[in-house]
Amino acid sequence: MIKTFDEAYQFVLDHKVCTVFGSKGSPHPSLWDNTALSEKKPKAGGWSPKVVAIWNWKTRITQTYPESVFYGKIQGGDTVLMTMREMHLDIVNSLEPEQTV
């Protein structure tokens, strides 16, 4: 289970495509379902440690490794983190045969 930024980055690399907060019916694993941090909100208010970490990771991973990881939506509407190689394959697979890059 994921507890750190480095583990979250490795999770993306290992799975090639993952949703951030999960998506019912998605074939992709999610950071949310694979993170072992508390979902309990602080008494003073605000987000749980799990939400704070995942929100931070989805931003930091793409800022730290912009040549390796893409953050955005894929066909079907899932918001994902994906390797650049998978993004390229997703684009190529979505093109008509005569449009292939």
For residue range 12-36, what is the model confidence (pLDDT) as tens digits?
999 999 999 988 889 999 999 999 9
Give residue 70's identity as a one-letter amino acid code.
Answer: F
Determine the Cα–Cα distance for residues 35 and 3; give it in Å rounded to an integer.
6
- What's the pLDDT score for residue 97? 66
Answer yes or no: pTM beyond 0.75. Answer: yes
Determine the Cα–Cα distance for residues 80 and 19; give it in Å rounded to an integer.
4
The residues spanned by each domain of the chain are: 5-99
Question: Residue 83's closest CA among 20, 34, 17, 6?
Answer: 17
